[in-house]
Structure 1
């Protein structure tokens, strides 16, 4: 990894953290890395914080495929995306200096709104009502009508996002080596008029999921993209596919995805 030497640090600025980071910056410089101020000049992007900060770092720097992302947690934080802690920063630098290091590739979903604007998600997309009433969504798979959902909303999660909001709704935890995405319900209504599958379902990487918002007053649903909310006017249809893009992260030895799942939940 000799060619990867430019590091950009993404973190929330505060004086206490800045003082702690000075030591890390010095250590990075001593090991031959260059700290850059513009993420476009970086080939390594490091977030300081938990999973939320990692997701922000990926989003704010444009879901770049030509660089490595990695996350560092602080002592009171944990993260399924973050392999490193402030206390083992030197391990991270040592890992990045060696060509034999392992790199994970996390799938990304693409979301097209009304056939126009496109967004990317590393974790999940959620669609929820902004009104105190249920939202109605026609669900199509590869342009084939599947069901009409009525309830609080729907979540579409990547495999790595399956441990977040998706898991809290009893969705399955998916191995990130499986190229797929998962659809989970939020408080669905099932009666003689509305009938849904009533459980999460998983779609292969070549599937297209279409969510058509029924215009009955819920014309301005909240669209959650990872850990950011967007209020987009007059949403008629969302087309969701698994992107060809993958986010690359550094993998510590003996710290697989399932090691982190076990450590976090069991």
Structure 2
């Protein structure tokens, strides 16, 4: 049974494989899967195993995004999923991740044959959910004009050459602060468990449509007054604007989902909810707060696990 609903929520290194839901007769789906791989040997090995198993189950395979591609499967870690989505320009296709990386917050499948076989069986029986993740739209204005970028997790704005950043922050056209510190993070609920969390931001339920502004090492003195904790805004009708305070800070560092860019002559950076979304295929037993516990709090204390299950 296919369950399809809108939600958000997650984090980031991998291969990527694609499959495509097309209009099908008698519930028979298109059969093309495309693989994209990072260079880790374990990822390549898992990719080869999965490719062979999908072929045996009647799927064709390809190294490219085909017109009848159904699904994107990342094998490795969260960063490769983010890179794949960006490189493919956030296609209207579901993704699923196989974790051969570290944290693997996006990952749904472990890299062993039993897990892979279970996933293929669930996929063919349509025992899964498709979650829609809201993106950030980032509008960068400089002397050359406007550039539009998309982010799944977050935008990070930093000063150039590790210097203190002085950034004027507006929300919906209203002045909020002149921030001084290492930088600002603007994250989605999905990105709340990524860099935002490491910087002291809040974990936000992935069903909530929000943008979170989190300061990185803020300076709050008589000379510089900055918020020292996160600000959470509804994303559907909010716009965040960041302007470098000084001309010599018009060269800044932007990091979008881990991809760093140095920009000169920046006039403003505006962030709002994007019209684009990314789809994540989840097996039917997925639960966000259980994932948070497993990735951030779980220990080998079996007594605590037993108490938690009661």
Q: TM-score w.r.t. structure 1 length? A: 0.93
Q: Sort the Cα spacing of 1:131 and 1:258 in 2 relative to 1 into closer, same or farther, 3 A.
A: same
CA distance in 2, matches of 1:4, 1:158: 32
Q: Sort the Cα spacing of 1:121 and 1:132 in 2 relative to 1 into closer, same or farther, 3 A.
A: closer
SS in 1 for 2:264: coil
CA distance in 2, matches of 1:83, 1:14: 19
CA distance in 2, matches of 1:198, 1:15: 43
Superposition deviation, residue 16 in structure 1: 5.6
Moved more, 20-29 or 47-56: 20-29
Who is 2:24 aligned against? none
Moved more, 231-240 or 124-133: 124-133
Match of 2:62 among 32, 36, 42: 36
Q: Does 1:24 align with 2:50?
A: yes
Match of 2:106 among 81, 85, 100: 81
Superposition deviation, residue 128 in structure 1: 0.7
Match of 1:12 among 38, 49, 56: 38
On the 8 A contact 2:179/2:227 being kept in 1, the answer is no
CA distance in 2, matches of 1:144, 1:86: 49
Unaligned runs of 5+ in 1: none
Unaligned runs of 5+ in 2: 1-20, 22-27, 298-310
Q: What pairs up with 1:1-266 in 2 under 5 angstroms?
A: 2-13=28-39, 17-41=43-67, 42-64=69-91, 66-74=92-100, 77-87=102-112, 88-114=115-141, 116-205=146-235, 206-266=237-297
Superposition deviation, residue 255 in structure 1: 2.3
Q: TM-score w.r.t. structure 2 length? A: 0.80
Superposition deviation, residue 200 in structure 1: 0.1
User: C-alpha offsets along residues 127-182 of structure 1, whole Å, 9 cap, x if unaligned?
Assistant: 11123431111110111111110111000111111111111111000111101110
CA distance in 2, matches of 1:170, 1:177: 21
CA distance in 1, matches of 2:64, 2:194: 30
Superposition deviation, residue 17 in structure 1: 4.1
